[in-house]
Structure 1
């Protein structure tokens, strides 16, 4: 195993070294990397086939718009791309400067071209046209307006350059603009490290490296090569093919350099180790002496692990015992493929199935609530879970799943504090027969740790975990503190970058399928009770469903 794979920082450090060398040696790679990070990562969920919604407000014209990296508010996504392109090339421009000549008449206001380049005295119009040269439906007289503006430039002898929405968003419009500006005397100075104004976010180098490494994990886990990835791109697995093609232009050189670095050191990474081991078994170069193969946590298996397992039991006289729970499949981002469980017999052949339907952790009320919730998804395996626990022998202060609503996020501290005080009092009064109890606060994100109270009564053993890291753990009580709707919410609205769809295992089409399983995991970490905390005016759809 390569020594740099022992921790994430070393892993990303090696990727950073690879990228630095590629930037120095390959101008096409350098441009693709900068282009993707600075212009294409900011709105990964957009396919740019339709105009996106404005994301800022300009108080001067009192209008919504799109904020560029230099702070200029423009009127369309296409104009933002142009403005960012100019900013990153160090091109001085003025947005919607009044035309040099008076053009106002009874039917028209003064003409304001989209961009003006003072260093070369050139005007620039960015037309809202699709690939067929048509404006958006409802834009009446748009083409006539274009011709009038062109005529004004011809009449007054001013220079006009033009781009269109389709060319910029889906074609070579910016490359052509670059050539035209250079032809008119502009000197371009590409500076990918130029900082945007305060409040405008761009994707960091580290963010891009993490995306590349995640894509690589899925490529390897699913034994994909260039041809298969290209086929998937052609099959429409991603919406914005141009964006994804640019990503692949920067990904494959990194992939090849990563593999070369492994080979030079005589190393493998974990994904290659699985694939190469399966190759040896399938070719007969190695014959496993083991007659029984046992697999635990099958719901976390990737296709590479499933392939290795099949190879281990392919010879006559081999048996497989696999244990897994499709309700707890929450690691698709790390390569897990739910179909390894739900399609088990399709992958491994016929055999008996034993349903493990007894829980030794939760009381029945928690188990029933969690099971009803997760089984709303028809793709989940149907089963009935029975608890070995009757009601507690003591009269616990809190059992089952309960909800507390708060007026705002600032009240979450108090809600958790009140709950801990109730448990302390129940211990003192004998309602809970124990010297202490454990309480785990389970957040959807690491940042939810900030919702924790600063101190707990001595009778309460309090800890914070993300729900992903809590899998396999248990506590007397669980608190889920941030069941809200919105960006950083539960279910999460932070989607995987669309390029990952090219390499990831197929997902479940049921709404919030994996987030539902994650919520199930959170509920079932508790032995006695669960407290859900939700804002009363912006509740999670999961809370609404439970109610």
Structure 2
């Protein structure tokens, strides 16, 4: 039935039988006209609700809901009633559709006007923001992205009902649609790029004079860019300090930020003083208010925050510096040992046995020879578990025999002579350590059958066997159970740590205390309490290390408690307290920082506590964080540094502008290439392409080999004397007639013993010694690195990082010897001209072997003669030597038969 002119009324029989009143209903366009008992009225279909039909046997009742009255029409046949409801419903839907389309077009007209206004406002705001704030920041971008989204134009453009109009206006070149289609990020990037180019020209004189040398383009970009969060990944010798000073100066020069709202944070007093001095020296002559720029250490500034927030400035414990913290830990341990026999036994056992007895997670067959497991008593055992038990017995003065032949001859066609793991002659008892896990599963096929044979053997011959299992040992119950077994049978346990002699001496006490200090630093920095540490133990520790980790935590808990009590008794705090408390006060709003620009130096050395403080300082809108660091020089993990703070910068601080300073002014390109490729063997390091502006003085890297350790000092003296002779003759030029500087860098402090007597050529050379850790930030014309040997005290050091530290840190590095590799990079890049690496024949450092293999570094003897130095292609740990066989001469690895690498003679 059609819509317009469509009418309905009750049927004849409907009126007669249903006795309904006479009515008529007509649908005329969007209106319903009704004659009800000869009274006409009409209303818009949009004003009524849904028409409902209540069917009867023949006739239906139709209800039409209206806000003013409810209309009930009876006597209409069921079929016509359904058609009535359907027709009116279709009219309502059509009206709603037309109204919606009309509203969409009206909204589209309003939105296009809003888009033009938004674009105009964006352009005006961008120009104003660039003029007053110097950069279109991420905060600016986020605010305008939100305002753009509020217009809702994207939703309108996607409406199917507007498709034809959108297409027509697009073809007609609608400015609203064209402008809306421009990417906001692209617009902001273009504006910033234009601003950068303009500023580089407008401030050319400033960039050329603010430092002794004109800023490089990458330095200038880092100075001009004023995004809210910036990370500058710098190269060694790339002018990090110059960039920070210039950025402060630029902010003042362009009136972007007042001097008293600029804060520079450094990691030690010397660095903070250098920043303050350089800022005043370089900016004051330019007429800038440099005296009000603040440069402080994190520690000094943290104390200032706490003082201002609470009205009571705390004191740092006076014994924290200069190794006093280690001595304080030693006093705490001594006190606990004296007061608590249980702690004393646990500490002595850990120090004598467990401190040395942990796996080297960085061990690599390409570097390390397979080492035998030797007990304190001198036996070679098959597993770390056996060694732990043997050392525990030795520590407790228990007389035992390792693998003493069983008293019955067991040799037959299937068995060799049975040798139980341990035998205790004082009580005539045998002891087997059984490699079964908690489910009783054996490590390999046939193990259980062998175990049953041993048990049956003891039962058959009436000998006594006690057992420990791998599962018990690693869970912590194994040694306790063994102690009970032995004491019940008459053996007296007498702990005596001084018995640990032979090749496995107790670890140096200072080194063990340093491990506890590092662990304390990281736990406090990452705010881990005792319960959280126990949870991390359950999550991270398994097998052999779990027993050791649990023993460590049992010692750490009372040590930390006493540390905190000592601080409280003296009314002091430590460095980690200071960082955490200052961050808490900032986060709570107890003190509002006035600083708008916060610059952090040496960011690769930041801990999570320092990162938290920096984040709190710039939490409010309009603040800027400018962090500068070189992840290739991150070498202070032992002091609390966490490289993930820098490599995971955006995870901590949000979307950021990451720039690079890749031009070095310190060392030549050849050294830049070798050192960069070396450190980037670790894929976790951030990639930089280091380019040098420095003159070459070949050979840049040399290697010197001597036969014995005692020959090192004389060989170094000989080479330095030759260098001095060349300086005197002018063959090697010195700058402005000054002496050439030589820095002898040691991996360890005892390498200072290699420093020769240089008094007879002191007129030409200034020779000094430093550890590599202490040399960061220093430089010299020439660097000499003795101790380039393999082994535990070599370089890289194979003294393993204590695996217990992983429980206190967010994540461990996956690359082997990662920090040692960065440490070697630091050593190489102290040189302005060249590096001499000193090794000992047959003990060459794997780092040195890598440089010879990958970069063709020439190995020479003490008098400068080149030595054969073809690195074995198979193991990379030995040089190739000439050998002969039935087939003639060839080159074979010096480490044969452990390595069977060969090469044809050239």
TM-score normalised by the shorter chain: which range applies?
0.7 to 0.9
Contact 1:335/1:504 (<8 A) preserved: no
Answer whether contact 1:238 1:501 (CA < 8 A) is retained: no
- The Cα of 1:27 is off from its aligned counterpart by 4.8
Aligned to 1:214: 518
Q: Distance in 2 between matches of 1:45 and 1:211?
A: 16
| 2-structure distance, mates of 1:383, 1:84 | 49
SS of the residue corresponding to residue 4 of structure 1 reads coil
Q: Compute the displacement of 1:527 (Å).
A: 1.1
Q: Deviations over 1:466-486 (max 9, x none)?
A: 211111111111112233333
Inter-partner Cα distance in structure 2 for 1:94 and 1:345: 59
CA–CA separation in structure 2 for the residues paired with 1:79 and 1:382: 45
Shift of 1:104: 5.8
How is 1:252-291 mapped onto 2 (pairs within 5 angstroms)?
Answer: 252-291=557-596
Distance in 2 (alpha carbons) for counterparts of 1:285 and 1:446: 45
Instruction: Pick one of 411, 424, 428 that aligns with 1:122.
Output: 428
Aligned with residue 440 of structure 1, among 724, 730, 743: 743
Residue 89 of structure 1: aligned partner? 396
Deviations 1:96-155 (A, max 9, x none): 55666x556766777665544444x3312214331244555365651343133222343x
| Contact 2:631/2:686, CA 8 A, preserved across alignment | yes
Alpha carbons of 1:361 and 1:54: their partners in 2 closer, same or farther (altered >3 Å)? Answer: closer
In structure 2, what is the Cα distance between the partners aligned to 1:283 and 1:207?
A: 39
1:142 maps to which of 445, 450, 453: 450
Paired position in structure 2 for 1:62: none
CA deviation after TM superposition for structure 1 residue 257, in Å: 1.6
Q: 1:14 to 1:517 in 2, by over 3 A?
A: closer
Structure 2 segments unaligned to the other structure (5+ residues): 1-315, 362-368, 857-906
Which residue in 2 is equivalent to 1:531? 836
| Structure 1 counterpart of 2:758, from 434, 455, 458 | 455
**Cα distance, 1:298 vs structure 2:** 1.1
**Is 1:546 aligned with 2:855?**
yes
Asked if 2 retains the 8 angstrom alpha-carbon contact of 1:86 and 1:92, the reply is: yes
Map of 1:45-64 to 2, 5 A cutoff? 45=359
Say if 1:337 and 1:506, in contact at 8 Å, map to a contact too: no
What is residue 497 of structure 1 aligned with on the other side? 802
Structure 2 CA distance for aligned equivalents of residues 332 and 111 of structure 1: 48
User: Closer, same or farther in 2 for the Cα pair 1:413/1:287, shift >3 Å?
Assistant: same
Q: Is the 8 A contact 1:128 1:136 kept in 2?
A: no
Taking a change above 3 Å as real, the CA distance of residues 167 and 293 of structure 1, as seen in their structure-2 partners, is same
What is the CA–CA distance in structure 1 between the aligned matches of 2:674 and 2:468, rounded to whole Å? 57
State whether structure 2 residue 3 is matched by structure 1 residue 3.
no
User: Which deviates further from its counterpart, 10-19 or 282-291?
Assistant: 10-19
- Once the two structures are TM-superposed, the CA of residue 417 in structure 1 deviates from its matched residue by 2.8
How far the C-alpha of 1:199 sits from its partner, in A, is 3.6
Alignment deviations for residues 7-63 of structure 1 (CA, whole Å, 9 cap, x no partner): 31x32332233223333444543443233223322221169xxxxx9966xxxxxxx
Which shows bigger deviation, 142-151 or 407-416?
Answer: 407-416
> Is the 1:135–1:142 contact (alpha carbons within 8 Å) kept by the matching residues of 2?
no
Query: Are 1:176 and 2:481 an aligned pair?
Result: yes
Whole-angstrom distance in 2 between the partners of 1:351 and 1:81: 50
Partner of 1:323, secondary structure, is strand
**1:491 counterpart SS class:** coil
Count of equivalent residues: 521
Question: More deviation in 263-272 or 70-79?
Answer: 70-79
Match of 2:609 among 280, 304, 320: 304
CA distance in 2, matches of 1:161, 1:5: 49
User: Could you say which residue in structure 2 is the equivalent of 1:63?
Assistant: none
Distance 1:359 1:78 in 2: 51
Partner of 2:649: 344
Say which is worse superposed, 323-332 or 402-411, in terms of deviation. Answer: 402-411
Look up the match of 1:389.
Answer: 694
Give the conservation status (yes or no) of the 8 Å contact 2:376–2:503: no
2:719 pairs with one of 396, 419, 423: 419
Contact 1:238–1:498 (Cα < 8 Å) also in 2: no
Deviation readout 1:472-521 (Å, 9 max, x if unpaired): 11111111223333322322222211101111343442343322322221
User: Is the contact made by 1:373 and 1:546 (CA closer than 8 Å) also made in structure 2?
Assistant: no
- Shift in Å, 1:241: 1.6
Change in CA separation of 1:105 and 1:245 when aligned onto 2, cut-off 3 Å: closer
Residues 1:286 and 1:81: Cα distance change in structure 2 (over 3 Å): same
Q: Does 1:15 align with 2:329?
A: yes
Contact 2:473 2:547 in 1 (8 A): no
| Secondary structure in structure 2 of the residue aligned to 1:124 | strand
How far off its partner does 1:373 sit? 2.8
Whole-Å Cα distance in 1 between the matches of residues 801 and 403 of structure 2? 36
Contact 2:421–2:433 (Cα < 8 Å) also in 1: no
Match of 2:677 in 1: 372
CA contact (8 A) 2:395 2:500 kept: no
Q: Does 1:200 align with 2:509?
A: no
- Aligned with 1:453: secondary structure? coil
- 1:339–1:486 CA distance, 2 compared to 1 (3 A): same
Alignment deviations for residues 423-470 of structure 1 (CA, whole Å, 9 cap, x no partner): 122123211233531111112222332333333622221112121111
C-alpha distance in 2 between matches for 1:420 and 1:146: 67
For residues 134 and 487 of structure 1, the distance between their equivalents in structure 2, rounded to whole angstroms, comes to 36
Query: Which has a greater percent of helix?
Result: 2
3-state SS, counterpart of residue 162 of structure 1: strand
1:228 and 2:532 are equivalent in the alignment: yes
CA apart distance, 1:262: 1.0
Deviation for aligned residue 1:351: 4.6
Per the alignment, in what secondary structure is the counterpart of residue 770 of structure 2? strand
The answer to whether the 8 A contact 1:439-1:478 is kept is yes
1:35 maps to which of 327, 345, 349: 349
Among 725, 729, 736, the residue aligned to 1:429: 729
Look up the SS of the partner of 1:355 in the other structure. strand
Matched-pair contact (CA < 8 Å) for 1:357–1:386 = yes
Residue in 2 aligned with 1:401? 701
CA–CA separation in structure 1 for the residues paired with 2:712 and 2:614:
46
For residue 60 of structure 1, what is the aligned residue in structure 2?
none
Q: Secondary structure at the match of 1:235?
A: helix
Larger-Rg structure: 2
* Aligned counterparts of 1:14 and 1:204: Cα–Cα separation in 2: 16
Residue-by-residue CA offset, 1:310-364 (whole Å, 9 max, x unaligned): 1111122322222212222221222212233233333223454443233222233
Q: Does 1:316 align with 2:621?
A: yes
For the Cα contact (< 8 Å) 2:601–2:628, is it kept in 1?
yes
Q: Distance in 1 between matches of 2:821 and 2:653?
A: 27
Q: Report deviation, 1:218.
A: 1.0
Shift in alpha-carbon separation, 1:22–1:153, aligned structure 2, 3 A: farther
1:212 Cα shift?
Answer: 1.1
Structure 1 distance, partners of 2:376, 2:832, is: 51
Alpha carbons of 1:69 and 1:375: their partners in 2 closer, same or farther (altered >3 Å)?
Answer: closer
